[in-house]
Structure 1
Amino acid sequence: MPSPMPSQRLLSALLLLFSAVTCQGVLAGAYSAPSRSNKASTQLIETASRQYEEGKLDQAAATLERALQIQPGNPATLHYLGVLRLEQGQYDQAEVLAVRSNQRVGNNRALRNRNFQLIQAAQKARASGMVPVAGQAR
């Protein structure tokens, strides 16, 4: 039986990450913005989570990009957007976002490991020419 597509394996991780929005300030480390920006960014991530659950990947990605305008160096938001890009079949973009996240992650080993998993999944998907879940009917 063929192994599941990387995007399917990461689906559970994405949902778990979106549910961990409350940890965003901790994940941001030295790049934390004022609390007002954190609140706005957190609300955008929650909105993106709902959009993702509704299968609106393009809208969720646009929402996460707005969150990055508020906190450009937030490693968690970079990771979330990278996972979405993997789902959308944008493997190069997914890898770049995971690398950017790792450059800002500080001592958060869990997020660093998830970024490495994202990088590996993007490389594997790109090498095998896999079609992302987002490209299939939902």
Structure 2
Amino acid sequence: MKLKQAVIIIIIIMAAGLMLSACSMPLIGPEEKPAGPSGPPEHLPQIGAKTKTESAPFRFTPLAVVHLMSRTKEHIASGELDQAFATAERAVRIDPSNPEVWNLLAEVQLKRGNASQAEHLARKSNLLATGDRALQAKNWRIIADVLRRRGQTSEADEARRKAEEIEK
């Protein structure tokens, strides 16, 4: 009898552990790049010269957010902008410090005709995108588009120049 109770307790503990491990969300980051040539680089930058960053800084993104961002892009591509916005909002609730999600929200709002919101969201993304020059440039292009739509051409040109400067 005691053996049977011990077996049941062990099974319950194992099942509880299995269920708890299923609740955790794996984290993923940017893919690793293959190692390049082992020799010295052909061109070394000058001391103090501006250098272009090749990739965004490493940050973990919950798998659920990666999936929601992918779904958002699918909705955008198929013209389902309300669905895209709702999906991106879910992603930002899970990972509010993710600048890519804020950028997606800005893109959706721009396509929906909500220019002021698009500008606000792109600026929010820029605040969070420290070190991610490509994303910052993308946000500045959204801001430039919004400013141009408002007729603020000199400000739009300045925003476009910022995007181009970041990409250099």
TM-score (norm 1): 0.65
Counterpart of 2:11 in structure 1 is: none
Note the residue ranges of structure 2 that are not aligned, 5 or more in a row.
1-28, 32-54, 153-168
Relative contact order higher in (CA < 8 Å, ≥ 6 apart): 1
Shift in Å, 1:23: 4.7
Identity of aligned residues (%): 32
SS at match of 2:130: coil
Which of residues 51, 67, 75 is equivalent to 2:91? 67
Note the residue ranges of structure 1 that are not aligned, 5 or more in a row.
1-21, 129-138
Q: 2:70 and 2:128 mapped to 1: Cα distance? A: 22
Which of residues 32, 57, 79 is equivalent to 2:81? 57
Counterpart AA for 1:50? E
User: Is the alpha carbon distance of 1:28 and 1:74 closer, same or farther for their aligned partners in structure 2, counting shifts above 3 Å?
Assistant: farther
Question: Aligned-pair RMSD on alpha carbons?
Answer: 2.3
Counterpart of 2:121 in structure 1 is: 97
TM-score (norm 2): 0.54
Q: Which structure: greater helix fraction?
A: 1
Q: Could you list the runs of 4 or more consecutive aligned residues of structure 1 that deviate by over 2 angstroms after TM superposition?
A: 26-30
| Rg (Cα) greater in structure | 2
Counterpart of 1:81 in structure 2 is: 105
Name the count of aligned residue pairs. 101
Shift in Å, 1:101: 0.6
CA deviation map 1:98-132 (0-9, x unaligned):
1101111111111111111110101111338xxxx
